[in-house]
Structure 1
Amino acid sequence: MARTLRRRMTPEELLLWQKLRRKALGVSFRRQEPMGRYVADFVCYERQLVIELDGSQHLNSPEDQARDADMLAHGFLTLRFWNNEVRTNLPSVLERIQTALNDRTPS
């Protein structure tokens, strides 16, 4: 499943991946990474940070809230961004990711 998701990344996921790959923010990220019963869009194990990109179908989603709580119970902070944020304000998205990375201690 994760392999299929990597091949079928959304344009927004591809755009963000270009900015996260090859330690561009100083740490390694994996894309479409299986984590328990979930697949994270992007994860940095070193800083225990998960990044999810969401479309409008995720608005006030109880499933996403449960997923974020499960990730937190395992020590992972989840940052969620709307697809249109990535398209229209990528520098701000990257700044928020960098701030979260700086605030998290390496594991």
Structure 2
Amino acid sequence: MAREPRQFVRALRRQMTSAEDRLWTVLRGRRFHGLKFKRQVPLLLYTVDFLCPERRLIVELDGQQHEWHRDYDAKRTEETERLGFCLLRFKNEDVLSDLDAVLKRITDAAFPGGEGIPPTLSAAYDLHDMRPPRRDRITETILC
């Protein structure tokens, strides 16, 4: 990877929006259904917000500026879907106001038909607090 794109991606990671930060808190470290998500990943000529390579799933958060770049976003979506990726777009306000609905849509895209959803530790997380669950709560979640 060239030096400039690498620096650009690093800068994006340091300057996440509040919506990106909130969603990343849930997705990082395999907290969400055991899926590995990466953030601010170069793909083709673009940088995608969140990528789950094992499910070929991309999650993009759109702020106000995306209203002005609809054609560009449509082209990005078309090109990534042509490569076999599923691209989900959410507005920043959606993440900040109804995170549960956003996570439901991500789950539905990652596990079409609801099949194959592993026992998850994310259910043990308090989405507003995001402290790691206590060990006894993890056991209860897996056993239930």
2:20 is aligned to 13
TM-score (normalised: structure 1): 0.93
CA distance in 2, matches of 1:8, 1:75: 29
Structure 1 gaps of 5+ residues are: none
1:3 is aligned to 10
1:45 is aligned to 53
TM-score (normalised: structure 2): 0.69
Deviation at 1:36, TM superposition (A): 1.5
Q: 2:84 aligns with which of 75, 84, 87?
A: 75
Structure 2 gaps of 5+ residues are: 1-7, 114-144
Deviations 1:13-53 (A, max 9, x none): 00000010111122100000111100000000000000000
Pick the structure with more helix per residue.
2
Pick the structure with more strand per residue.
1
Q: 2:101 aligns with which of 92, 96, 101?
A: 92
Letter in 1 for 2:28: R
CA distance in 2, matches of 1:10, 1:58: 14
CA distance in 2, matches of 1:93, 1:102: 14
CA distance in 1, matches of 2:11, 2:64: 22
Over the matched positions of the two proteins, sequence identity in percent amounts to 42
Q: 1:23 aligns with which of 22, 30, 36?
A: 30
Q: Which has the higher contact order (CA 8 A, sep 6+)?
A: 1
CA distance in 1, matches of 2:101, 2:45: 30
Moved over 6 A (4+): none
Q: How many residues align?
A: 105
CA distance in 2, matches of 1:8, 1:34: 16
Higher alpha-carbon deviation: 58-67 or 42-51: 58-67
Deviations 1:33-81 (A, max 9, x none): 1111000000000000000000122137010000000000111111000
SS class of match (1:64): helix
CA distance in 1, matches of 2:84, 2:11: 27
Q: Equivalences for 1:51-70 in 2 at 5 Å?
A: 51-59=59-67, 61-70=70-79
